[in-house]
Amino acid sequence: MKQLIKIIKGSFVGMGSILPGISGSMIAAILKIYQELITALNDFTKHPFQALKSVWEYIVGVIIGIGFGFLFIKIFLDALPIPFTLLFIGFILGAIPGIIKELQSKKYHYSQFIVMILMMLMMIGFLFIQEGSSTTGTWVYYLVIFLIGVIFAAALITPGLSGATMLLALGFFQILIDLGDDIIRAFLTLNFTEIAPYIPMLLLLLLGAVVGLIGMGKIMYQLLTHFKSHFYFGVLGIVIVSPFNILFTLQQDTENNVFQTTWYIWLLGALFFVLGVYLTHIITVKGQKVEEIL
């Protein structure tokens, strides 16, 4: 049961990692598994096998979540963009009480609130990121692919920094979605010949991701070790603003004005929002109690 809960938590992190406007690392912080992941990542260069053993359930969950996202989330968002967007907003906002609990202290410092405000401003700044364009087939293109892997990995473990949003800014998000969808579908149908053309780009992405994870992981480990309260104040600021980023991204990606959608779609969205809040409560509160018992 304890392992299943960890896999479920990891799957939410994986799904959040590929959704524009949502940060997988923010979800990890919400679910209170971020410290474990960063500690394992920091220890990986010294004790790789022990580090992997300590978080293998989360890794399996992340892989499942990413795979699920590539196959289904795009379809769901195309079919019912508002309800599924509100589901994730509910999932994020439902964690605010848990974050506030982490911030309870007899004494606060003004620097903590400055960090929260800066994180809120950073999230607002992401609203102005626009999708770019890219030229394929050159060595510069493959160099950029490697850098995309670095940036995406760094965003993956930096709360509030959406890797998918960064890929949108650089014009590579659709490439990533198509690549992942093609590979997973080819794997499920055992048609591996279709994967071959993507292997060089996939390897460069993975190499860049490893470099980004190890480098940024050590930085985040130091922050959590020495500035834990500041870290959670920053996460709170990110969580407060992120729903606006998500709705803004939804409007950008939808041809019609989402705010002129029929009332029953918004009613369904409200139900999904409540479901998201409830899921957060189940995973963070009840899941935590189960882990303590086990």
Task: Map residue 271 onto helix, strand or coil.
Answer: helix
- Per-residue confidence (pLDDT) for residue 21, from 0 to 100: 55
DSSP letters, the chain, are: -HHHHHHHHHHHHHHHHTSTT--HHHHHHHTT-HHHHHHHHHHTTT-HHHHHHHHHHHHHHHHHHHHHIIIIIHHHHHHSHHHHHHHHHHHHHTTHHHHHHHH--S---HHHHHHHHHHHHHHHHGGG--------SSHHHHHHHHHHHHHHHHHHTSTT--HHHHHHHHT-HHHHHHHHHHHHHHHHTT-GGGTGGGHHHHHHHHHHHHHHHHHHHHHHHHHHHH-HHHHHHHHHHHHHHHHHHHHHHHHHH-SS-GGGS-HHHHHHHHHHHHHHHHHHHIIIIIHHHHHHH-
Burial tier of 198 (Cβ tally within 10 Å: 0-12, 13-18, 19+): middle
- Share above pLDDT 90 across residues of the chain, in percent, rounded to a whole number: 4
Instruction: Tell me the average pLDDT of the chain.
Output: 75
More confident residue, 39 or 191: 39
- Per-residue confidence (pLDDT) for residue 136, from 0 to 100: 54
Is pLDDT of 203 > 70? yes
- Per-residue confidence (pLDDT) for residue 270, from 0 to 100: 92
Is pLDDT of 258 > 70? no
- Per-residue confidence (pLDDT) for residue 291, from 0 to 100: 45
- Per-residue confidence (pLDDT) for residue 271, from 0 to 100: 93
Of the ranges 10-19, 162-171, 193-202, the best mean pLDDT one? 10-19
More confident residue, 140 or 62: 62
Is pLDDT of 2 > 60? yes
Taking only the tens place, the pLDDT of each residue in 16-48 is 777 655 677 778 877 878 888 888 888 887 888
More confident residue, 10 or 191: 10
More confident residue, 214 or 188: 214
More confident residue, 274 or 253: 274
CA-based nearest residue to 147, from 133, 117, 130, 167 = 167
pLDDT mean over 171-200: 69
Is pLDDT of 290 > 50? no
More confident residue, 253 or 97: 97
- Per-residue confidence (pLDDT) for residue 117, from 0 to 100: 93
- Share above pLDDT 70 across residues of the chain, in percent, rounded to a whole number: 71
Is pLDDT of 200 > 80? no
- Per-residue confidence (pLDDT) for residue 76, from 0 to 100: 73
- Per-residue confidence (pLDDT) for residue 20, from 0 to 100: 57
Tell me the whole-structure pTM to 2 decimals.
Answer: 0.61
Q: Specify the amino acid at residue 141.
A: Y
Taking only the tens place, the pLDDT of each residue in 266-279 is 899 899 999 888 87
pLDDT mean over 91-96: 77
Instruction: Give the span between the Cα atoms of 64 and 15, in whole angstroms.
Output: 8
- Per-residue confidence (pLDDT) for residue 12, from 0 to 100: 85
- Per-residue confidence (pLDDT) for residue 161, from 0 to 100: 60
